[in-house]
Structure 1
Amino acid sequence: MHITNRPTNLSRHPLVYALLALGLGSSGPLLANNPQHMGTVVVTAAGFEQNVTEAPASITVITREDLETKQFRDLAEALADVEGVDVLSGTGKTGGLDIRIRGLPSEYTLILIDGRRQNVAGDVTPNGFGAAMTSFMPPLSAIERIEVIRGPMSTLYGSDAVGGVVNIITRKVAPEWGGSVRLEAGIPQDSDWGKTRKVDIYAAGPLINNLLGLAVRASRYDREATEWILAPGADRAGRNPAPGESEQTNIGARLTWTPSQEHDLWLDVDRAETWYNNQDCRLGNIDGKSTGTGGGANCWNTAAINPNAAPGYKDYMEFNRTQLAIGHTSRLSTGVVDSSLSRTTTETIGRTIPGNVIGNTYTVDGQTFTIGDDRKLETTNTILDTKYVTSFIDKHVTTLGAQYWQAELEDGLLTETHDQTMVAVFAEDEWRFTDDLAATLGGRYDRHDAFGGHFSPRAYLVWNTTDELVLKGGVNKGYRAPNLNQLIDGINGISGQGATINIGNPDLKPEVSTNTEISALYDNRQGFSGSITLFQNRIEDRIVGGTGDCSTDPISSCSANPTATYATNVDEAKTWGAEITARIELTDSWTLAANYTRTDSEVIADGEKNGKLGNTPKHMANATLRWAATDQLSLWLKGTYRSESQRFTGNYEDLTDQNKALIDTVGDLKSYLLFDLGGAYRVNQQFNLNATITNLLDKDMAGFKTYEYNGDTYWASEYFHSTQSVAGGVLPGRTFWLSGTYNF
């Protein structure tokens, strides 16, 4: 019984083909008319293989061939043109981008690799470094495809799968030896923007035929520093969207053992390292090269430097991950059992114990801390997953599963190691009433050792009304547990360049979301296809930092800092909108594809509207015109549009007088339209070339405008706003990008 290959009549669903090409935005032009690219099978939406149009979710697939036409340094950039996905509404300290789905912040997006959770329970990238985690991805040459689900999937995957799920599917070990080497380089026209270089290597094949196989993979990415994006006469201080010098390395291997046709076993090991240069204090003020804790002068302004002060940063930072995983697939007479055990250790290096005098000591709960010493930041997550898929009952495909998740957090500022355990069971059933109508019902129960149990149900219906039209929709519940740091009863971190002691709140509850969506997918089978999806997300018990105050409403953690604020469950939030795609074959060789996303949001606090949930623009669109010039050469032109977005998420009347003056004069973050021009050339069966000119018209996004306040003149960027975080971002000017792939 081949449960994972339930037959579907692909010829009845030609819209699969259009949606796949369309959802990719800038997908490779050589693939636009390739029928092998159209009959797409996905696994993330239900836990077993099924046709993408019949999946009980809104899903987009990006293949390895599509990725080869893109220039990206991390997972966020790889998803930049997927409908419903926003990666440009904020910029981390490292210059990295976040993944926001349907207007929800990045912490509501769950990242998987081959179905295994990559999000960690403890925050080891505090103070604005969370975007560095998106660089932890396999080399491009090791990726088979990326599946992007828009909407909650907590029923199958648990916490964090509120906004959506991104599942990176890696290549299987081939029965014959083969592989690829890929080189790429990006050269900006303006030397103020740093050059980039990347190499990917992949090889796989049998060690013992039909028994033992091996796959090895490696990648290296180097980026030169970009000059600071500054207003005229401004100091190099505070956050800046310009990325600094960095190096990213990934190396891994997978060993597979197939003792029989019924059993597969595998062992996978992966090491990812990222290094960032902080010699210019771009990431944080360096110990001994600043005024002291709390900011002030830094290594660019030496006049007031205190060589004894430790704000908490070294002249470099590293973010590293080590993952070891083993798994087993058993094909029984009644179904398929998939199990895996993974252990992931994630660490930050380059942070120190902050304080006013390097070398001085202080004692907390009998433990001594030395100012200026290395601050350990490490979390270890051990996860056991098991899943059984069966079609033992006629017209039903049933999934039963369980998960055990144990997490530990070590922080050099804390007096003890903190841990948590979650156990979950889930069940889901696809009931095919007829060949054209199927319903999916499921539920998951999670038990958390801090706040007890939580149940997440979902219901979804897929109806193939005709050969041309598919209707589907459903309601999903999602939830997000507070991370380990947020639940600590006492000190849980430091902010403000070492000046502010932060505390946790052990009484936090998980956030809960309800998502409703309905989709129509159409293909006239004569060269035109399209889809429209309407969605709404509603989040309750939203966790918001700084909403509790020790001076007016003390909790147990306040004993660590009686003047601190802390996070509470106070807000309700909603996002809603539409995703529209269209594709038309103009001729046999010309194709036009486009997608459009409309997103809006609101936050409700104490029963009143309190601004927006985030600064995702209301309108986003991508359009790609492709020309298959010959069997070997293909060219494409892509346009990307983003409407203006919120500079501040709060209500105008609640802003400071200076920020009101800024909005009145400069306005919100500016809209823009960018064009990219690219091509792909297949030299022969082994060698492919891809070339792209990004920001073809060389749009300058580093400009500033002035505004007046209290008789003084201030500068503000039109495309980003920098305070404790960076809203928006700045894309490089015209850049020439070339890659070559050799397959062997």
Structure 2
Amino acid sequence: MYTTSIPSAVKGATSGLAIGRALLALSLLATPALASAQAVPEPYAEATAPSDDAVAPAPASLLDVSLEELLTLESTSVAKKRQRVSDSTAAVYVITQDEIRRSAARTIPDLLRGVPGVEVGQLANGGYAVSIRGFNSRLTNSLLVMVDGRSQFISTISGVFWDQLMMPLSDIERIEVVRGPGSSLWGANSSNGVINIITKHSADSGGTTVDLRGGTRQQDLSLSHGARVSDAFSYRAYGSYRHEDGLVDAQGKDIGRRWAGGSGGLRLDYEPDDHNAFTLQGEYGEGKFDTPFRLVNTNLFAPGYFQFQAENVFKSINVLGRWTRRQSDTLDWSLQAQYNRLNRTEFGGVGVRWQLADLDFGLHWRASDTHDISFGVGARLLHDDIMQTPYVRFDTLSATDRWISGYVQDDITLIPGVLRLTIGTKVENNNFTGFEIQPSARMLFRPAKRVSLWGAVSRAVRTPSRFERNAHLSFFVALPGEPNNPTPLPIYTTLNGVNDRNSEVLIAYEAGTRVDLGGKWSLDVAGYYNDYSSLTVNIPTGSNLIFVPNVPFPVGVQVDVGFLDSGKTHTWGGEATLAGNLTPWWKATLNYSHFNYRLGTDPTTGAPSTLLFPLTYSPRNQIALRNNFDIGDTVSVDAQLRHVGQLNNGKIPAYTTADLRLTYRLRNGAEFSVVGTNLLQSRHIEFNQQDYPAPPAYIPRAVSAHLRYRF
């Protein structure tokens, strides 16, 4: 095959229902005559960083406390130190262990559904699209996800593989969700938010927990055992297995054969005295699943796609060690090292072997009553080896990236208990975009005891992935007569990485308020305006006629599209949480999110365009209403009603659905639950694949039984 140049004008190529409703109605209409609340104790893990701050006792039950009281222990992701969320200068939401235990979720992405500002959509077998405040895709590139401070961000593809997070949900102490930039502390690629999954200290998970969940389409088994060997040494070991039939098509037929995987891990905690704490943890996981998608037919005389069922596999291993030392009443520090290794194959043969080695040192110094200083330095080494196919090619099959970074932040008390200023910055240097500076300034003002106001201005960056710098992707063909093909020939599009390019830049403006309304009711409101520049946009860079030997006429058009860094756009929105107790045994939480954007600009024409950005894959409005009921000391009812707005200009319609969990607690430590998910319709679509052609996948209604036994 050979090509010849043509003008570059070609640019366009780029009966169960009734049962579900009855169960939901039962949960929402429970009457006071049923019973009163009963305490259900749950241990709380130790903080991830030492502090002299007083620790409130663990609440007896989720229903017993207000949102502000629940969040008192829960903020370590905003400031890299323990801090009351009511005192934080960011939009923070915490999923507590009690909420996890009472949820209908079976995966970590499912736990994030309904969190204000968070967008979750399932789009393939085991595949999720998760983002915060826009730009959602399967590989969201501006969201940092961590487990106990260990990054889950895969730099090669600039995103997170959510299906690899398979630790037992019962081992999770809390999930901290920070909406908005976290880059001044956590660095690049956290420009839209940070999700920190914090597992229990091994001393707080004594005994054995068995979770067995089986249903119409999914089966899960996990086993976790923890114990104290001595007063100073404790451990926790776990194993998990997950199997599901996958998603379905519009008629309810399976489109993938199955997803199956498992993981096992060990955590050791050693605290020889009041000044030192050591943690060592490791995990191994693997999985296998099928993903249907369409590949471009390589026969140029039969243009179009053919359906392909790819068998995908992954194996991962990670190790983390951390030493935390309290040097004095005013000074503490920590040293952390981690190693991650991933082998993963997708798309019918595209494989990546990715390795990360990371070393971080952090120091917290309460210099005076006025200044509270955090400081840190770090080094990171990333290496990958690529296996390519005719559809995915790379300029270099192996690459090593190097990072050196440091941060400093000062909490300045201007008026004790009333006014605080936080200023800081992260400085990084890497071998492909050079120096990156990410400062922020944040202010907290308390005009009254029960009211706090905060505001922030931040600069954050998102560095380009190896795909954007080095790959050539040939996934798309537009046939004659299709809306984006004005020619009589098929148009073959190749997306090309651009090695010499800049990082994406965000200037974020945020403000919010938290109000204790009294009577165990609270209100948390946050708003933001984001100004993006140097965004990755797909711009045609050239086109050619395609000829084959011994044929005198062209058989197609080849269009080259570059991953350029010339896009600009603005987004804005807000989130609100209202939570409280309607009665002593009934707690309600209402979350609302709004997202909006200004049309981006096409750099080639200057005209407004939404096709250059995945902004349309974020819903304008989301609403989640959660109700938790305690019926005596043995029964609980937990229901969540969710509404998610349309995506992709209505091609993915809005949907409303509900999840329900009915739990009965036995006196021997066992819990038995009946769980229903997506109850309001037989199936619905939540997302579709943006990066390559794939058939639409629907999430079906599911019912399962869950047995948890602790001994």
Instruction: Report the equivalent of 1:641.
Output: 643
The one of 406, 410, 431 equivalent to 2:412 is 431
Instruction: Report the equivalent of 2:242.
Output: 221
**Alignment of structure 1 residues 651-670 onto 2, 5 Å:** 668-670=651-653
CA RMSD of aligned residues (A): 3.5
Is 1:549 paired with 2:572? no
Structure 1 residues 636 and 92: CA distance shift in structure 2, 3 A:
closer
**Alignment of structure 1 residues 427-576 onto 2, 5 Å:** 427-433=408-414, 434-488=416-470, 492=472, 495-496=475-476, 502-544=495-537, 546-550=538-542, 564-576=560-572
Deviation at 1:628, TM superposition (A): 2.3
Structure 1 residues 343 and 10: CA distance shift in structure 2, 3 A:
closer
Counterpart amino acid of residue 509 in structure 1:
N
Counterpart amino acid of residue 410 in structure 2:
D
The one of 302, 315, 324 equivalent to 1:320 is 315
Deviation at 1:637, TM superposition (A): 3.3
The Cα offsets for residues 659-701 of structure 1, whole Å up to 9 and x where unpaired, read as xxxxxxxx54322222333333322362223333223333553
**Alignment of structure 1 residues 176-575 onto 2, 5 Å:** 177-187=206-216, 195-207=217-229, 209-229=230-250, 244-277=257-290, 282-283=292-293, 296-298=305-307, 316-333=311-328, 334-349=330-345, 376-413=351-388, 414=394, 416-433=397-414, 434-488=416-470, 492=472, 495-496=475-476, 502-544=495-537, 546-550=538-542, 564-575=560-571
Instruction: Report the equivalent of 2:487.
Output: none
Instruction: Report the equivalent of 2:189.
Output: 160
Is 1:135 paired with 2:128? no
Using structure 2 for the length normalisation, give the TM-score.
Answer: 0.79
Is 1:743 paired with 2:705? no
Q: Quick one: distance in 2 between partners of 1:528 and 1:466? A: 16
Counterpart amino acid of residue 63 in structure 2:
A
Q: Quick one: distance in 1 between partners of 2:413 and 2:695? A: 46
Is 1:604 paired with 2:608? no
Instruction: Report the equivalent of 1:107.
Output: 141
Contact 2:494 2:561 in 1 (8 A): no
Structure 1 residues 112 and 328: CA distance shift in structure 2, 3 A:
same
Deviation at 1:87, TM superposition (A): 0.7
The Cα offsets for residues 561-606 of structure 1, whole Å up to 9 and x where unpaired, read as 9963221111112211111221243222233321111111132333
Q: Quick one: distance in 2 between partners of 1:428 and 1:609? A: 39
Instruction: Report the equivalent of 1:94.
Output: 125
Deviation at 1:514, TM superposition (A): 1.4
Contact 2:72 2:86 in 1 (8 A): no
Q: Quick one: distance in 1 between partners of 2:206 and 2:411? A: 38
Name stretches of at least 5 consecutive residues in structure 1 with no aligned partner. Answer: 18-28, 125-129, 188-194, 300-312, 353-373, 553-560, 648-666, 703-717
Instruction: Report the equivalent of 1:706.
Output: none
Contact 1:152 1:162 in 2 (8 A): yes
Match of 2:181, SS?
coil
Instruction: Report the equivalent of 1:577.
Output: 573
Match of 1:486, SS?
helix
Name stretches of at least 5 consecutive residues in structure 2 with no aligned partner. Answer: 1-46, 389-393, 478-491, 545-556
Contact 1:640 1:675 in 2 (8 A): yes
Counterpart amino acid of residue 212 in structure 1:
F
Deviation at 1:206, TM superposition (A): 2.9
Deviation at 1:409, TM superposition (A): 1.6
Q: Quick one: distance in 2 between partners of 1:547 and 1:684? A: 64
Q: Quick one: distance in 2 between partners of 1:10 and 1:211? A: 23
The Cα offsets for residues 131-154 of structure 1, whole Å up to 9 and x where unpaired, read as 744432422122111111100101
The more displaced of 76-85 and 581-590 is: 581-590
Match of 2:129, SS?
coil
Q: Quick one: distance in 1 between partners of 2:693 and 2:134? A: 18
The one of 83, 89, 109 equivalent to 1:76 is 109
The Cα offsets for residues 133-178 of structure 1, whole Å up to 9 and x where unpaired, read as 4432422122111111100101111111011010010111217842
The Cα offsets for residues 506-559 of structure 1, whole Å up to 9 and x where unpaired, read as 111011111111111112212432122111122110012x3151459xxxxxxx
Deviation at 1:112, TM superposition (A): 0.7
Contact 1:111 1:117 in 2 (8 A): yes
Counterpart amino acid of residue 417 in structure 1:
S
Give aligned-pair identity as a percent. Answer: 20
Counterpart amino acid of residue 324 in structure 1:
V
Contact 2:635 2:665 in 1 (8 A): yes
Contact 1:601 1:614 in 2 (8 A): no
Instruction: Report the equivalent of 1:370.
Output: none
Match of 2:506, SS?
strand
Q: Quick one: distance in 2 between partners of 1:600 and 1:739? A: 39
Match of 2:514, SS?
strand
Contact 2:674 2:705 in 1 (8 A): yes
Counterpart amino acid of residue 731 in structure 1:
I
Match of 1:581, SS?
strand
Using structure 1 for the length normalisation, give the TM-score.
Answer: 0.76
Instruction: Report the equivalent of 1:120.
Output: 154
Counterpart amino acid of residue 424 in structure 1:
S
Counterpart amino acid of residue 7 in structure 1:
D
Counterpart amino acid of residue 94 in structure 1:
N
Structure 1 residues 74 and 726: CA distance shift in structure 2, 3 A:
farther
Match of 2:113, SS?
coil
Q: Quick one: distance in 2 between partners of 1:466 and 1:8? A: 22
- Higher normalized strand content (fraction of residues): 2
Deviation at 1:376, TM superposition (A): 4.2
Q: Quick one: distance in 2 between partners of 1:104 and 1:380? A: 26
Higher relative contact order (CA 8 A, sep 6+): 2
The one of 732, 738, 744 equivalent to 2:700 is 732
Instruction: Report the equivalent of 2:31.
Output: none
Q: Quick one: distance in 1 between partners of 2:497 and 2:73? A: 45
Q: Quick one: distance in 2 between partners of 1:115 and 1:605? A: 39
Q: Quick one: distance in 2 between partners of 1:294 and 1:168? A: 46
Structure 1 residues 293 and 153: CA distance shift in structure 2, 3 A:
farther
Structure 1 residues 550 and 44: CA distance shift in structure 2, 3 A:
same
Q: Quick one: distance in 1 between partners of 2:589 and 2:641? A: 11
Contact 2:56 2:73 in 1 (8 A): no
Counterpart amino acid of residue 318 in structure 1:
V
Structure 1 residues 570 and 326: CA distance shift in structure 2, 3 A:
same
Counterpart amino acid of residue 98 in structure 1:
A
Deviation at 1:645, TM superposition (A): 3.0
Deviation at 1:30, TM superposition (A): 6.0
Deviation at 1:214, TM superposition (A): 2.2
Contact 1:94 1:132 in 2 (8 A): no
Structure 1 residues 8 and 325: CA distance shift in structure 2, 3 A:
closer
Q: Quick one: distance in 2 between partners of 1:142 and 1:9? A: 21
The Cα offsets for residues 114-133 of structure 1, whole Å up to 9 and x where unpaired, read as 12221021129xxxxx6744
Match of 1:614, SS?
helix
Q: Quick one: distance in 1 between partners of 2:89 and 2:385? A: 39
Q: Quick one: distance in 2 between partners of 1:293 and 1:204? A: 60
The Cα offsets for residues 469-513 of structure 1, whole Å up to 9 and x where unpaired, read as 11112112211111133223xx5555459x876532111101111
Counterpart amino acid of residue 425 in structure 1:
G
Counterpart amino acid of residue 186 in structure 2:
Y
Contact 1:420 1:484 in 2 (8 A): no
Match of 1:400, SS?
strand
Counterpart amino acid of residue 696 in structure 1:
L
